[in-house]
Amino acid sequence: MDDGMRIDAKKLWAGAAATVVVAALVAAVGVLVVETLVDVNLLPPTERGVLGWSHRASYPAGAAVLALGAAGTLHLLLLGVPRPMVFFGWLMALIGIGLAVVPFGYDAALEVQVCTAAVEIAVVLSVWILLSSAGRRAVTPASWT
């Protein structure tokens, strides 16, 4: 970050905490909508799910971990990279593309693959949008403080 800029870590991590909650809820609602309204079961993350949980709990847990990791990455980018929001945008776009493509590598019905990718894209977009906003809000000119 430029010497003329200051990062308010409290604002950044408050936004990150809120993003973790929202990302988990986006995943939970995504699972609920897909399984209830569309009547499609998402791909299970593993045979037993993350930490042995069902996939209904694994998707929100994974979303929370993604949001937390993205927040830490954003903080590091803000501290030491020129144009940190551009780098953050590229990272989130590539993560989103990667997560959207992964379901198509499994031997499953097309509707299962598409619905799984849709939930994952919704999670990545929510994390990207909310953390981008928190990152912008956390950076202020040093002369303002």
Q: pLDDT tens, 96-142?
A: 999 999 999 888 899 999 999 999 999 999 999 999 999 999 998 76
Nearest to 134 by CA among 25, 8, 5, 23: 8
More confident of the two residues 45 and 60 = 60
Task: State the average pLDDT over residues 54-76.
Answer: 91
What confidence score (pLDDT) does residue 141 get? Answer: 79
In this predicted structure, which of 8-17, 37-46, 87-96 has the lowest mean pLDDT? 37-46
What is the pLDDT confidence band of residue 53, given thresholds at 50, 70 and 90? low
Say if residues 78 and 84 touch (Cβ distance below 8 Å). yes
Q: Return the pLDDT at 50.
A: 47
φ, ψ dihedrals at 7, nearest 5°: -105, 125
- Which band of pLDDT confidence, cut at 50, 70 and 90, is reported for residue 49? very low
55 or 114: which leads in pLDDT: 114
30 touches 119 (CB < 8 A): yes
Q: How far is CA 143 from CA 9, 107, 135, in A?
A: 17, 57, 18
Q: How confident is the model over 50-64, as a mean pLDDT?
A: 76
Rounded Cα gap, residues 96 and 111, in angstroms: 19
**Domain limits, the chain:** 5-144
